[in-house]
Amino acid sequence: MQVQKSALSNGTDVVVGTPGRVIDLMMQGSLKLQEVKLLVLDEADEMLDMGFGDQLEEILASIPPKTERQTMLWSATVPAWVHKVAQKYLHDAQTIDLVGTCR
């Protein structure tokens, strides 16, 4: 954790982390998200299915509104509830289906 905090204090363009670690760093004041321009959530369906919804809500509440950032949700499966989340947090949401199984 100390290495990560030190790296953040030097400035960074890209942060990769689990929801829990991101929140820990935010709460300690080491990670400020007010200037986020691009948010990528990989395996979004799995994160939400595993119960990280509240943590994602907390992170999303700390970044600029959806009209001021680009957000991408990457997911191997896209159940209907993932579409609902996408509509809530994405501006002008579009689905790119590489397999042909999305609705």
Strand segments (E) across 20-75: 38-42, 70-74
- Indicate the pTM of the whole model: 0.77
Distance, in Å, from the CA atom of 61 to the CA atom of 33, rounded to the nearest integer, reads 10
Domain boundaries along the sequence of the chain:
2-89
Looking at residue 32, the DSSP 8-state letter turns out to be -
Distance, in Å, from the CA atom of 8 to the CA atom of 65, rounded to the nearest integer, reads 23
CATH architecture of 2-89: 3-Layer(aba) Sandwich (3.40)
Question: What does each C-alpha distance from 10 to 7, 19, 25, 32, 66 come to in angstroms?
Answer: 5, 22, 14, 13, 27
Per-10-residue mean pLDDT, the chain, length 103? 90 90 95 92 82 86 90 80 78 78 57
**So what's the pLDDT on residue 103?**
55
Do the beta carbons of residue 55 and residue 23 sit within 8 Å?
yes
**So what's the pLDDT on residue 101?**
62
**So what's the pLDDT on residue 85?**
75
**So what's the pLDDT on residue 102?**
55
